[in-house]
Amino acid sequence: AQSVTQLDSQVPVFEEAPVELRCNYSSSVSVYLFWYVQYPNQGLQLLLKYLSGSTLVKGINGFEAEFNKSQTSFHLRKPSVHISDTAEYFCAVSDKGYQLTFGKGTKLSVIP
Amino acid sequence: GAGVSQSPRYKVAKRGQDVALRCDPISGHVSLFWYQQALGQGPEFLTYFQNEAQLDKSGLPSDRFFAERPEGSVSTLKIQRTQQEDSAVYLCASSSDRQGAQYFGPGTRLLVL
């Protein structure tokens, strides 16, 4: 069985400041990892994904994440946030099958 | 190109009523998924189709939930005799292959009174 823990349910950050959203996973096998963003009353939009290869993954909107196998982490980072980044962010894992297991989400609030 | 679309976007049902939720996946995507997202939670897997075949329905919470994809394109999630605990957002996603990234629709927000 696999699981995802997003350590922070809410993260407030000032505009133009850096941000890190934490994600840890547990799985008995190799995994694929994903970050999705959900704006109010909208579906999930894929930010980035790790399937294999380089552990540093770059996504849309200036976000990046680093896969750390030894720490079973896949933290999401952005060097300078904008007001438009205010949303809920979900980390998800797949054991190379098809079923995504999601964390409970982190609400990012960007303060002007 | 067009993304995943779902209809209706909002549905209010009286307890005991049957509802049907529709999903139009991205054209050509063979894999289709349904997830249930309760308030304040992450999405939880319900069922998976590859073309018209339902390969996994292990996440369906009860036999009141039924999903179909008869022609390998549009899918319908049906909930019979709705209960208040069925209130949630139902998300549909599609993928070009079973291991690839899943692309989500906007969801159907179901409220059972």
Using alpha carbons only, how large is chain B's radius of gyration in Å?
Answer: 13
CA closest to B49 among chain A residues: A98
Closest CA to A51 of A102, A109, A95: A95
Instruction: Specify the higher pLDDT residue, A35 or B1.
Output: A35
Are the beta carbons of A40 and A107 closer than 8 angstroms?
no
The string of pLDDT tens digits covering residues A3-45 is 999 999 999 999 999 999 999 999 877 788 999 999 987 889 9
pLDDT of A38-74, one tens digit each?
998 788 999 999 988 888 999 999 999 999 989 999 9
Both structure tokens of A79: 């060097």
Work out the average pLDDT over A78-84: 96
Q: Is the pLDDT of residue B5 over 80?
A: yes
Position A96 scores a pLDDT of 63
Nearest to B10 by CA among B113, B112, B86, B108: B108
Q: How far apart are the first and last CA of chain B?
A: 37
Tokens 């049957």 belong to B18
Q: Give B67-85 pLDDT, tens digit per residue.
A: 999 999 999 999 999 999 9
Check CB contact under 8 Å for B99 and A100: no
What is the domain extent for residue B77? 5-112
Which amino acid is residue A69, in one-letter code?
Answer: K
Instruction: Please list, in sequence order, all residues whose beta carbon lies within 8 angstroms of the beta carbon of residue B45, skipping any fewer than 6 positions away.
Output: A99, A100, A101, B33, B34, B35, B58, B59
Q: For residue B1, what pLDDT is reported?
A: 56
Number of domains in chain B: 1
- CATH number, residue B44: 2.60.40.10
Is CATH 2.60.40.10 correct for A3-111?
yes
Domain boundaries along the sequence of chain A: 3-111
Structural contact between residues B91 and B77, judged by C-beta atoms closer than 8 angstroms:
no
Cα–Cα distance between A105 and A44 in angstroms, integer?
A: 11
Q: What percent of chain B clears pLDDT 70, i.e. is strictly above it?
A: 97
Q: Indicate left, alpha or beta for B73 from its phi (over 0: left) and psi (-120 to 50: alpha).
A: alpha
Q: Are B82 and B16 in contact (CB under 8 A)?
A: yes
- Which pLDDT value is given to residue B98? 67
Chain B residues contacting A via beta carbons under 8 Å: 4, 6, 31, 33, 35, 40-45, 48, 56, 59, 91, 93, 95, 98-99, 101-107, 109
Give the whole-angstrom CA distance, residue A10 versus residue A86. Answer: 11
